[in-house]
């Protein structure tokens, strides 16, 4: 028997310290277009670059998570927000 692995994000609750796992959100490229994740005003070079990236699946994180232990909800920081904060400190 074989199993299928799913992409996921691990995070530690800042309130209780519990290690949590959240399954990644997986979209097929046509779903990303339908949901408006590809800008309408993208120029040809941007569209070509997006088409190259679109082979396979798009994986993204959720916008919020809930701790499995204390049930607190937290907003998820985007990677560029983290990097900006790192540079400012």
| In a domain? residue 3 | no
Asked if the structure places residue 83 within a domain, the reply is yes
Full domain range(s) for residue 16: 8-88
Q: Which of 3-7, 13-17, 33-37, 49-53 has the lowest mean pLDDT?
A: 33-37
Domain count, the chain: 1
pLDDT reported for residue 59: 76
Distance of CA 27 to the CA centre of its chain: 10
Residue 2 lies in a domain: no
For residue 85, the number of C-alpha atoms closer than 13 Å in the C-beta half-sphere is: 6
In a domain, 14, yes or no: yes
Q: 19-72: per-residue pLDDT in tens?
A: 999 998 877 666 655 555 555 555 555 556 656 655 666 778 888 999 999 999
CB 70 within 8 A of CB 15: yes
Tokens of 63: 């916008």
């Amino acid at each position: 028997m074989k199993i299928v692995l799913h992409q996921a994000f691990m995070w530690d609750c800042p309130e209780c310290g519990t290690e949590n796992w959240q399954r990644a959100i997986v979209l097929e490229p046509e779903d990303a277009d339908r949901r408006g994740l590809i800008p309408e005003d993208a120029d040809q070079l941007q569209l070509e670059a997006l088409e190259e990236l679109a082979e396979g699946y798009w994986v993204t994180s959720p916008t919020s998570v809930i701790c499995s232990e204390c049930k607190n909800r937290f907003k998820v920081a985007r990677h560029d927000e983290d990097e900006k904060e790192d540079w400012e400190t």
